[in-house]
Amino acid sequence: MNIKDIKSFFPVLNQEVNGHPLVYLDSAATSQKPIQVLEALKNYYELDNSNVHRGVHTLGNRATDSYEGAREKVRKFINASSTEEVIFTRGTTTALNTVASGYGRQTIQAGDEIVITYMEHHSNIIPWQQLAKEKDATLKYIDLEADGTISIEKVRETITPKTKIVAMGMASNVMGTINPIKETAKIAHENGAIMVVDAAQGAPHLKIDVQDLDCDFLAFSGHKMCAPTGIGVLYGKKALLENMEPIEFGGEMIDFVGTHESTWKELPWKFEGGTPIIAGAIGLGAAIDFLTEIGLENIEAHEHKLVAYAMDEMEKIDGLTIFGPRDPMKRCGLVTFNLNDVHPHDLATVLDMNGIAVRAGHHCAQPLMKWLQVSATARASFYMYNDEADIDRLVAGLRAAKEYFNDVF
């Protein structure tokens, strides 16, 4: 499938914004949705709309088959050993909070250590901050190298026998840095800790094998990988999930309810209280089919080429600073940058006037902004539907913005 074929599956890209053809460079915030996913949602609501698991009628059975079929697709996508290890959530944030509350509160004691990094998204910082405060534990950060990467030496220095949880993003949503998850998990296990992976920026771009990584928990969101908003996944090793208490209670997750005592369903349903995110899961399943057809290895290779091209072209602009590793093989498909003294929000506004959508701000990563010694940055993030022509438009837009602000100031 070539890039023109891929673009044709995304109807939202075929429009003008502010009088210019749209160039969408904000996929790290949310990806666009292909017609295959939109059709799956349409078919569910038009033909199969029903609640799952409890009904015996035809629509209920078809909806249940599609919902649980999506779980099997997720299992294969991340190579989990069983669908019992695949929990549907509202997204990465909910999944990480489930681990912090369901596992962390049962496990962490005063004086224990929780280890994270300075490049984490707030969703992989705040739950651990709150857990550390509640349990009088110590929250430690793995320091970064000058280029925004993580060295195994720093990992070994930070993780100790007191460490009980290590939480790390698979890839940075700011610098694109691809982190050494497998090696870090090994060190965590050697010290008696578990490994929690925030794969929100990894799952859309990198092939994931949870058994090879040997991570204990892994979380990701559907909306960054061509699926609808409001659906995500928590993977957990079966033994850990079985020993965890659910954090939401109500319908669907119960086995027996008495007047004073209740028991829970078996995995994975004990963590899916209430009416499930049925359409979202079906949409996620369709997105996984789409990504699998294209091939994660092809997406990754395409993005490495785009990043290399983008950085080469952007570095020709005087006064533009790029953050993160220079080697495109060490980062996923995004480039974060600042231009002279132009505020990123102003820069993003001028680019939008030219039909170019980028993200500006602290990207829910304020500790990393402090480490980078900036208050905010601009970010262009790529996906399978972007090409060199999109980057040429970005570079031309940046040059035009530079001239505009030079004239203004």
User: Is the Cβ–Cβ distance between 248 and 274 less than 8 Å?
Assistant: yes
User: Is the Cβ–Cβ distance between 386 and 25 less than 8 Å?
Assistant: yes
Q: Tell me the residue type at 144.
A: L
Show the tokens assigned to 256: 């027996």
d(CA 217, CA 325): 27
Element (H, E) at 336: strand 334-339
B/e letters for 98-114, b = 16+ CB within 10 Å, e = fewer, are bbbbbbbeebbeeebbb
User: Is the Cβ–Cβ distance between 198 and 219 less than 8 Å?
Assistant: yes
Tell me whether residue 226 is one of the annotated catalytic residues. Answer: no
What is the SS3 assignment for 381? strand
User: Is the Cβ–Cβ distance between 114 and 167 less than 8 Å?
Assistant: yes
Taking the CA of residue 166 as centre, how many other CA atoms within 13 Å lie in the half-sphere pointing to its CB?
29
* Catalytic option among 215, 226, 332, 364: 364
What is the SS3 assignment for 52? coil
d(CA 284, CA 66): 11
d(CA 82, CA 301): 29
B/e letters for 205-224, b = 16+ CB within 10 Å, e = fewer, are bbbbebeebebbbbbbbbbb
For residue 115, the cross-strand partners are: 140, 166
Pairing outcome for strands 163-169 and 194-198:
parallel
Q: Could you give the residue numbers annotated as active site?
A: 364
